[in-house]
Each structure stands twice: as structure tokens, then as C-alpha cells.
Amino acid sequence: MVSSRLLFDLLCEWNRWAGQRGKVLILIVGFSLISFVFAMVLRLGDVLFFENPDWVGSEADFYTLSSVYDDGRQAGVSQQTIASLKDLPYVTDVAWLRTRTFDFRSNDYALYQPLALVFEPHLVDLLQLEFPATDKRSTGVWLTQRYWREAFNSDPEVVGKYLTHEKLSNSVPIRGVLPQQFNRIGPWSPDILLPADYLRYVTPFAPSSTLMIDRFLRSVPEYYGFFKTRRPIDVERLSQEMRNNDFSVQGMQVESHGGELNIFNGIMLDQKSATMLKQLWTFSVLLVIALVSIFSLNAFMSFSNRNLLLADEYRVLQTIGAQPIDLVRPVIVASVIKMGIIALISLGLNVLASHFISMNVHVTRLDLFSLDGKYPYYWALSLVFITLIYATAIIFPLMSLRKKTLFSRVMGTNRGYKQLLVGQGSLIFQLSIAIIATIAAIQISKQQLALFAPFNFNTSVQQVVINHHGGRLPIESIEDVRNDDTNNALALSVAPFDKPQTLSVGARELGFEREFEVHYVSQNYFNQLSAQVSADTRDWKSGVVINRTAQQFLAENRFNIRATPLYLGKILGSHRIFGVVDDIPHGGRFKRDQPTLYLPLSTVFSTPQSYTLYLDERMDVSSSGALQNYLDTHLVDAQITSSSTLKAVIDAQEARAQQLFYFSISVVIITLFGIALTLGYQVRSRLQLEKADYGVLIAIGAPFNALLIKACKPIAMGFGAAVIVTFAGYMLLVHLGYLHHVNLASAINLIALVLVGLITLSAVVLPLLKLTRSQVIDLIKQE
């Protein structure tokens, strides 16, 4: 015997949901997902549109001056260009930074050309950077926390020691270790921060040539400018005005990098990533809207259906004196418990997502989704939002019980025009979401299936990354070098296997751009990897090798790869296509279809900061004296920093992609299940309202296919409208530049339409079969 009023109410509510508890579970999971995604969308939107990066200590409004390429990548401008901002009357403060490698050395640690973020001392005050307390900002070096941990083994005694440089007469003192937010600044992971005064020692001129050094430093287009203004400015107008000015330095000719001068609102060092994040944010907003629409409708229909089933019980309770609060109280208590469960699940999703992001994604905001940051505020706001939706879904059906006419109309056999229109619109919306989710699920599943496809190259090849302090490997004769263990030739690339450069290709020839991966490799690279090439690369001195995906992409866009050179921008120029190689998935088999091009090492103009060698797996790199002797012959202080097989490299890539796959497919499954559940409710409600009509048809001997056609007619119209809406929306996104144009009649799209059609058909057939098993007299009689 239950003596507690609260427990009795909960027990009654539990019994009232008998047979529908699965629906409650789906609603809880769905609203938990909405709460989690909605909180992330709010937090990400705050970061994208209202906050400066976390390494900037000031909350003031800044502008960034830089150059931008056609594909969104940024580059610097000249110091002279930034200095011109000081002449504008509405500009109050200006400073700059740039990146450069410095070949610093240490007596106690092996340092290999650390990446320095070179800053103008005034930048510290302008952006209120959190530097260790010191009054000396024009000399010395500051270590990032990551570099201090990796290169100095977190030695607490390193502060106060000195670094040396062959072009500096005096040693450089280590001033301090910076907070962790400096580990990632824009697109860079700097090792050290260095004052601007040291730039004068690493120019092509002697330190005594102060005039030429000054001109050179003012003309090199490698600086990113930041400034504040007294009033908001029109960045497009000012950008255009500055493009029309001549900022060249007299007596100094510097080759342009091909970027166009541009001013951005806020601190902007990586527009390409910011654009991708904004697109992700936009799609996340659409996902939230879709999920809210689906599960709100689902909840409303669930509570409406529940109240219809319990209408007689409520009337009896009211007859014996129950007050409205007595009917509402059990629902409120149960809903509070459900909201608690939703809060716990969404919090768990946040913890998992934060762990995944911190392990696998470079983020400029380290506390983006941290529970000790701003995220809990947005998480609480999302719970309030979910509570309002849930309360609305509960209250409106309960209010209908107090209106006998409305309640009777819902149970009647006829519906108004507005009700039918709203129902059909809801059906079209849900089917559109189902089509989009199914296309996404099939695309993701296709990528997952690629994991089971065999590699078309030798994954046992060993990748060895070499750092050095100077020198140059003889790339012209690298193929002739043999190691002493296996007598196999060495192959060489400028960057590691899984870290290619990117380049936009096709603007001149195709009229639109597509991002290609770019690898600079030796002639025997493909032979070492046992990859099939359509040409003999022993004769490969110039030209470009493309992979099968790139060949297909160019062929689909009517580009003649045999007769027409491929334009690779102002720096690289045009190259004829030398051959075609089978796809090599540098980013894992999830990215097997990435268009890729390979250039010979002869096209590399500057000395690489590191080299990547490809050797036989059986060779013990750590104990190979011949390899080390070969490296020492050509490089200064050569050191092997990492060694692993290509299979291990790819497995690491695919492990991260697989985690993302599991999360994505879970979202898709929950979405589809929710849509299927809602469709089932709609069809059952429609059949319930029209059961008398079906009873008459069954009574006169109508076949099942006639009943099915009648039931499917409004659903089929909704499905056709959903297909049109979905692909019209896709064409709009292509026109706006958010998506690449693909074949609408592709196999993936057709399979998705068939699957959604089957889901829709099953949502009609199953309730109709149940209806036909009822007695005709029960269908025809009016309640």
C-alpha cells in the first residue's frame, strides 16, 4: 500500500503510460539531444560573433588587416601598409604580429627551428596579452606552455636560461612560460613569442646595413595588423580604398603572394576555419530547428493521444470531485523527473563532446564547452527552453479537456481546412528532414564502409620525420641512395604523409574552385609506396601527377587533362599533367575521394624546415648508422623526431573519424526514429478520424489495395512535396556557395528516397492492417 501522495501520483502516471513507455524514452533521448546541441549552438555563436579569442585579454572591438586568397586563406601585408592606418583620424591604436622560424639553439636541449610569433611590443598593451610580469618586452623569448612541455620537459628552471642564434652576438634570455591559451593562435601552434627587434638579424642584409634592413622589413608582406577605432567603420569601403593605394617601399622590390588586401571585423587570423565554423553553426541551427520541430510535435501528439485515451478516466475523477490541480499534479511531478533525466543525459553528452574535441580538434577557445566557463549558462538556458516546449505540449491538451466542444471535435470524424493544412505542412516538413537525414546517414555509412576496402598501396612503408638546423638533402639524387639493411632506395617528401598543403584549383579553367591536397615528393615516391601510376616517374622532372579522384573531377567539368596545363596560382604557375596515380588516402579511407596533386621536389623554392623519408618497415631507424651518417653529411644536427608505418598513421586518422561517425549516425537514427514515430501517430489519427469511411468501404467489399490507395493519397502528396522542397533547398545552398554542386540523381539520393518512401509506406500499411482487422460494426458506429 502506497501511503505517500507523491509516490501514489507517480505510480498512477506510470500506469497511465502503459504501452507507450517506449515513446516516453524516445522523447527523453530526443529532448536531451536538443538541449545538448542547442547549448553548443548558443556557445559557438557567442564565440563566433561576440567574443575575441581567448589569448586576447581585452573585450574591446578590434579590426584585423591582412590579405586573403580566393579560397579564403589569409596572408600578411607589409608593415608599411599597417603603418598607413595611423594616418586615419578615426584610428586610435595600431599594432602587428607575424610568424617566422628562428634557428635557436640550447646547450641543454635539442631545439629545431621553433616557430616564433613575432610581436610588436605595443601589441601586448593593445590586446592586453597575459604575459608574465616583466618590464622588458623588447628583448628575450617567451615559451608557449606546449613547447615548454615538449622541448624542455617542463623544466621549472628553464626561465632565466639563454638561447643562442648564429646571427646574434648576444644570447637571448628566456623570460617566462606563457599560459596555455597561447598554444594555439589563429592557424598556428607557435613555439615561442619573440619581440620584433630580433627580425633585423634574420634579413638577407648585414646588421650594419640599417637602411636596407628597415626598407626590407617594411616591405615584406608577412604582417597581420590589428587596430581600434573611435567609431564603427565600413570595412568593405576602407578595404577598397586601401587596395587602390600604393604601399610599396622605395628601392625595394618584393614579389606579391597573390592575396588581396582585406579588413575584417574582430581578431581574424584564420578566415577559412572561421567560415567553416560559421557554416557548421548555420547547419547546427537548422539541426536544432529540425529536432525541435520533430520532437515538439511528437510530444504534443503523445500527450494529446494520452489525454484522448484517458478522457473517460478524467471525467470520472471530475465527477467525484477532483479539482484541475489533481489532474495536473501527477503530470507535473513526472515531468520534473523527466527534465532531471534530460539534464543528466545532455550533461553527459557535453562531457563526451568536450573530451572528443579536446583530444582531436584544434580549438582556439580552450574553454569553449568547459563546465567551468560560460557553457553552463547556455546549458541552463537550453533546459529552460526544453522545459517551455515540454510544458506547452502538456498544457494545451489538458486545456482541451476543459472545452467539451473542442474535445468532441477532436474525437469527431471531420476536421477543418486549417487543421488539414497544418497537418499536411507538418508532414512535408518531417519527410524533408527524413530525406536529408537519410542522405547524410548513407553518405556517412559509405565512408564507414571504406574502412573495409583494401589499400591500393604498401602501408608497411615506414615514415621517418627529420628535423635539422640547416643544410639541404640532395633531392636531385635521393633515389640513388641505398640504406644498408634492405638495399631499398629512399623516397622523400617535404611534409609528412598525413599533413599535406592545400591549394584551390580550377578558378581559371572551370569557373569555380575546388580544394586539392598538394604533396611535394621525389620521383621514386610512388614506387616506394607501390602505388600504380599511368606514367613512368623515372622521367618525372616537371609537371604534376594527379590522383584518380582529381582526374574524375576534372573530366566531369570537361577539362582536357592531356592538352591543357593546370593553373596552380601565381606562385606555382601552370603545369601540364604528367600522369595519374591511384587514390592514396592520406587522411584515411574516410577521405579516399579527396582530389590530390603531386609536384616534384624541383618545384620547392626554399629549403624545407623538415624532411620526411620513406623506408622499408624492416629497417631499424634508431640503430641505423648508415642513415644517420647520410643525414649528418648533408644536414646540421639532424634528428629523427618520429617514425611509424603508414598504416599506423592512417589508423590514427580513421580512429578520430570513426568516433565522429558513431556520434553522427546516432543523431541520424534518433532523428529518423522520431520522424517514423510521429508519422505513425499522424496516420493513426487520420485513420481514427476516417474510420467510418473505411468501414463503409470494407462493408461493400473494397479490396485492400483500394484502402491502401485512399490512405496513401495524402501521404504520397506530402512525400512528393517534400522531395521538391528538399532539392530546391539544396539548389539554393549551392547557389549561395554553402555546398558544392553534385548530381541530384546520384545513387545515394535515390537510395535515400527509396528508404524514406519505405518508412512512409510502412507508417501507413501497419495502422491500416490493424484497422482492417477490426469489426466493421465498430468502425461504422459513431461514438
SS (H, E, C) 233-287: CCHHHHHHHHHCCCCCCCCCCCCCCCCEEEEEECCCCCHHHHHHHHHHHHHHHHH
Provide the 10 A C-beta neighbour count for residue 590: 22
User: 448 or 268, which is more confident?
Assistant: 268
Task: Work out how many domains the chain is built from and give that number.
Answer: 3
Angle (CA) 640 643 649, round 5°:
140
Determine the pLDDT at residue 562. 82
Same domain, 303 and 240: no
Give the pLDDT band (50/70/90) at residue 624: low
Provide the 10 A C-beta neighbour count for residue 752: 22
**pLDDT tops 70 at residue 364:** no
Asked if residue 55 belongs to a domain, the reply is no
Determine the pLDDT at residue 412. 41
Same domain, 214 and 139: yes
Asked if residue 719 belongs to a domain, the reply is yes
**pLDDT tops 80 at residue 585:** yes
Determine the pLDDT at residue 544. 93
Determine the pLDDT at residue 282. 81
CA 4 to chain CA centroid, Å, is: 51
**pLDDT tops 70 at residue 650:** yes
Q: What's the 3-state SS for 645-704?
A: EHHHHHHHHHHHHHHHHHHHHHHHHHHHHHHHHHHHHHHHHHHHHCHHHHHHHHHCCCCH
Residues 6+ apart with CB under 8 A from 397: 300, 303, 304, 306, 307
The share of the chain scoring above pLDDT 90, in percent, equals 17
Determine the pLDDT at residue 424. 74
User: 766 or 483, which is more confident?
Assistant: 766
Q: What is the mean pLDDT of residues 214-220?
A: 89
Determine the pLDDT at residue 688. 74
Asked if 413 and 694 touch (Cβ cutoff 8 Å), the reply is: no
Cell matching residue 310: 484517458
Q: What is the mean pLDDT of residues 588-602?
A: 84
Cell 617535404 belongs to residue: 494
Same domain, 742 and 680: yes
Determine the pLDDT at residue 173. 92
Determine the pLDDT at residue 256. 64
Same domain, 534 and 466: yes
Same domain, 246 and 337: no
Same domain, 252 and 279: no
Same domain, 675 and 725: yes
Torsions phi, psi for 99 (to 5 deg): -115, 150
Residues 6+ apart with CB under 8 A from 598: 518, 519, 520, 521, 525, 544, 545, 546, 581
Whole-number Å distance between alpha carbons of 527 and 538: 10
The DSSP letter of residue 602 is G
Determine the pLDDT at residue 358. 53
Same domain, 445 and 530: no
Asked if residue 642 belongs to a domain, the reply is no
Tell me the sheet residues that pair with 270: none
Q: Where are the alpha helices (DSSP H) in 413-494?
A: 417-449
pLDDT in tens, 488-501: 578 889 889 988 88
Can you tell me whether residue 593 is helix, strand or coil? coil
Whole-number Å distance between alpha carbons of 80 and 212: 14
Asked which of 214, 233, 266 is the last residue of a domain, the reply is 266
Angle (CA) 596 598 603, round 5°:
140
Determine the pLDDT at residue 502. 81
pLDDT in tens, 730-753: 777 777 666 666 666 677 788 888
Whole-number Å distance between alpha carbons of 620 and 769: 69
Of the listed ranges 73-82, 157-166, 344-353, the one predicted with least confidence: 344-353
The share of the chain scoring above pLDDT 70, in percent, equals 82
Same domain, 502 and 596: yes
Give the pLDDT band (50/70/90) at residue 407: very low
Residues 6+ apart with CB under 8 A from 459: 645, 646, 647, 650
Asked if residue 647 belongs to a domain, the reply is no
Whole-number Å distance between alpha carbons of 27 and 663: 18
Amino acid letter, residue 595: P
Same domain, 79 and 138: yes
User: 625 or 169, which is more confident?
Assistant: 169
**pLDDT tops 50 at residue 361:** no
Determine the pLDDT at residue 746. 75
Determine the pLDDT at residue 369. 56
Determine the pLDDT at residue 26. 78
User: 56 or 110, which is more confident?
Assistant: 56
- The C-alpha R_g of the chain, in whole angstroms, comes to 33
Same domain, 472 and 571: yes
Asked which of 222, 246, 266 is the last residue of a domain, the reply is 266
Considering only CA atoms, which of 162, 190, 165, 166 is closest in space to residue 174?
162
Dmax (CA) for the chain in angstroms is 107
**pLDDT tops 90 at residue 633:** no
Determine the pLDDT at residue 178. 93
pLDDT in tens, 697-722: 878 888 888 888 888 888 888 888 88
Asked if residue 643 belongs to a domain, the reply is no
Determine the pLDDT at residue 63. 95
Whole-number Å distance between alpha carbons of 492 and 624: 18
What's the pTM value of the predicted model, to 2 decimals?
0.73
Determine the pLDDT at residue 739. 62
Whole-number Å distance between alpha carbons of 515 and 326: 64
Asked which of 602, 637, 672 is the last residue of a domain, the reply is 637
Q: Domain range spanning residue 185? A: 63-266
Asked if residue 53 belongs to a domain, the reply is no
Amino acid letter, residue 588: G
Residues 6+ apart with CB under 8 A from 455: 585, 589, 647, 650
Of the listed ranges 26-30, 64-68, 533-537, the one predicted with least confidence: 26-30
Whole-number Å distance between alpha carbons of 113 and 104: 6
Asked if 66 and 76 touch (Cβ cutoff 8 Å), the reply is: yes
**pLDDT tops 70 at residue 504:** yes
Q: Classify each residue of 377-408 as buried b or exposed e, where b means 16 or more C-beta atoms within 10 Å of its C-beta.
A: ebbeebbebbbebbeebbeebbebbeeeeebe
Determine the pLDDT at residue 376. 81
Determine the pLDDT at residue 741. 61
The mean of the pLDDT values for the chain is: 80
Determine the pLDDT at residue 487. 45
Q: Report how far apart, in Å, the C-alpha atoms of 717 and of each of 80, 447, 685, 721, 726 are.
A: 64, 33, 18, 6, 14
Asked if residue 56 belongs to a domain, the reply is no
Cell matching residue 554: 576534372
Q: Report how far apart, in Å, the C-alpha atoms of 167 and of each of 140, 160, 199, 395 are.
A: 15, 21, 11, 77
Same domain, 612 and 490: yes
**pLDDT tops 80 at residue 219:** yes
**pLDDT tops 90 at residue 427:** no
Asked if residue 58 belongs to a domain, the reply is no
Asked if 383 and 66 touch (Cβ cutoff 8 Å), the reply is: no
Most confident of 173-182, 204-213, 373-382, 637-646: 173-182
Judged by phi (left if over 0) then psi (alpha if -120 to 50, else beta), residue 357 lies in alpha
Whole-number Å distance between alpha carbons of 602 and 775: 84
